[in-house]
Structure 1
């Protein structure tokens, strides 16, 4: 009987995970969705459980398999030790006397890079809840900037923009520049005064990144404070792009943007304009393929190299 090979790619962020699987290279695919598996948010054990549960779901939709190749791009799993712990959990869950299992866990930015360029050279910029810049140059040299998380970095991200918006509202209460963000925060988040703002931010599980869309909406309606926030954050992110462009030899001059923040056309226009002004030699485009496509590509290469 011919061997049945299931190839699985996973794209796992902070809020959700997408699995896509293919059987023996067929065009039709298996898709499963679950919660996010960022180990910094849910812990290593739970992150491993989420990946294993989704792969179990995929296997249930497949005929009996004897080869399993998996690549998981996991947000928050940027260190090799974390990646190997997660990979080992998947191997142990599925390896057996009749099943050969190959597993790779990488940072989710790497699968986005593969989705954009396959094995080719180029730079990706991710602006979602967090932010990161990753590029691949000659001889597959990789260089990253950002990805430090909201405490140490993440310029241009939903968290950074939301935080800047909250600070602008606090300054408005203190007598600083007037901004429409104050009324928007009252309408959408129920923040009615300074005491309420302090309580919500410091004593409740307030999602700082949830303010970012309010900042973008205010900027699109000509609020000067909100507009300055977006330009500043986009410029800070562009600065990181410059560091990476300067540090990678043989880099193709192309930038691909993705992430939840660049799905908003107003912010995307600002970011694209600033990148164009800073790096006129580079093309700037949006990611056309889902990052999970990059995970699938890596899973296929993993099985070929084994």
Structure 2
């Protein structure tokens, strides 16, 4: 049996899926393996290549697959959105893959993580569509019938990432500070967040956040308290999630305006932890997407690594 390998390489983790070359749906019991992040702009291109080779080697061993059974590798990496990045990563991987003894004729497809996510999410009969992503960060991507790829967002947490977990967390911290000062209404987010950080009062947030540098994901994970508070009817939290959803609708609108072929019938799907865990945000997004006739929402068909497998073929 021949296999293709689909890789979703993010900044913090990488998922590798081994799928039969004749399969068009993700298996009920997928052959997956996970490892460290492989964003080449964070760890370097050579190190990213080394980590990918190591992860594939582990998967081949774990699932008793021989290198000769691999006919294609599809790889979507965070930070790889430009042609020169794709070409550089392709050269490095082809060189490093020699150690795996793959066939000289195996197919290698390198692209961004957003493109594989789009490919995996859209219905298989769809010739065009959009994917809006909101996890730690946010961005959006679309494909037209011609195959042309359109993008929006992806500016990073300092000047973009609207609607993301990072965005929600900063907004929540601001609302907690306002509530403590009496400049805004009380919110359940205060107690949830303080308990999580083992703090007794809001003023301790100052030394906690300014006392040492914090990674982006440390801040973004606080968005879970916005979601929890919204599920309990907290109006401040609900308003934050609706605001974030509105920002994500603007991503869809940008893609729509860039294209002359996308219509109100174009499938629009979503991915990322914020969409996954917040029904408030998801339903508000769907409502306003349809209200503004920017496409028709549908649930994602499969995960990004599945899309990478399809591109590998």
TM-score, structure 2 length as denominator?
0.85
CA distance in 2, matches of 1:68, 1:256: 29
Q: Is the 8 A contact 2:49 2:96 kept in 1?
A: no
Per-residue CA deviations over 1:116-144 (Å, capped at 9, x if unaligned) read: 14571011111111111111113112111
- Contact preservation (8 Å) 2:77, 2:111: yes
Query: How far does residue 9 in structure 1 lie from its aligned partner after superposition?
Result: 1.0
SS of 1:32's partner is: strand
Instruction: Give the counterpart of 1:230 among 235, 238, 241.
Output: 241
Tell me if structure 1 keeps the 8 A contact 2:245–2:282. Answer: no
State the 1:49 CA deviation.
Answer: 2.1
Change (3 A) 1:199 1:84: farther
Deviation at 1:194, TM superposition (A): 4.4
Rounded to whole Å, the distance in 2 between the matches of 1:39 and 1:64 is: 25
TM-fit CA distance, 1:241: 0.8
1:266 corresponds in structure 2 to 280
- What is the CA–CA distance in structure 2 between the aligned matches of 1:45 and 1:95, rounded to whole Å? 15
Paired residue for 1:276? Answer: 290
Q: Deviations over 1:6-30 (max 9, x none)?
A: 4211112233221112455479764
Does the CA contact (< 8 Å) of 2:172 and 2:189 recur in 1? yes
Specify the alignment match of 2:79 in structure 1. Answer: 76
1:159-238 correspondence runs (5 A): 159-177=166-184, 178-202=186-210, 203-205=212-214, 207-238=218-249
Two-structure CA RMSD over aligned residues (Å): 2.5
Is contact 1:20–1:30 with CA below 8 Å preserved after alignment?
yes
The whole-number CA distance in structure 2 between the counterparts of 1:235 and 1:23 is 40
State which drifts further: 231-240 or 252-261: 252-261
Question: Does the alignment pair 1:48 with 2:49?
Answer: yes
Shift in Å at residue 56 of structure 1?
1.7
Give the CA deviation at 1:80: 2.6
Q: Residue 149 in 1 paired to residue 156 in 2? A: yes
2:190/2:202 contact within 8 Å kept: no
Normalization by structure 1: what TM-score?
0.87
Aligned to 1:244: 255
Q: Shift of residue 93 of structure 1? A: 1.4
- In the TM superposition, residue 104 of structure 1 has moved relative to its aligned partner by 2.2
Distance 1:194 1:39, change over 3 A: farther
Counterpart selection for 2:110 from 105, 108, 111: 105
1:15 pairs with 12, 15, 31, which one? 12
Q: CA deviation at 1:66?
A: 7.3
Is the CA contact (8 Å cut-off) linking 1:172 and 1:179 kept in structure 2?
A: yes
Once the 2 structures are TM-superposed, how far is the Cα of residue 258 of structure 1 from its aligned partner?
1.3
Q: 2:115 matched to 1:114? A: no
Q: 1:145 to 1:64 in 2, by over 3 A?
A: closer
- The 3 A distance-change label for structure 1 pair 213 and 59 is same
Any stretches of 5+ residues in structure 1 without a counterpart?
301-306
Q: 1:150 to 1:121 in 2, by over 3 A?
A: same
Aligned length: 296
> Which residue of the partner structure matches residue 32 of structure 1?
33
CA distance in 2, matches of 1:98, 1:237: 41
Closer, same or farther: CA 121–64 of 1 in aligned 2, 3 Å: closer
How far apart are the structure 1 equivalents of 2:76 and 2:102? Answer: 26
1:254 aligns with 2:255: no
Runs of 4+ in 1 over 6 A off after TM superposition: 26-29
Maintained 8 Å contact 2:41/2:79: yes
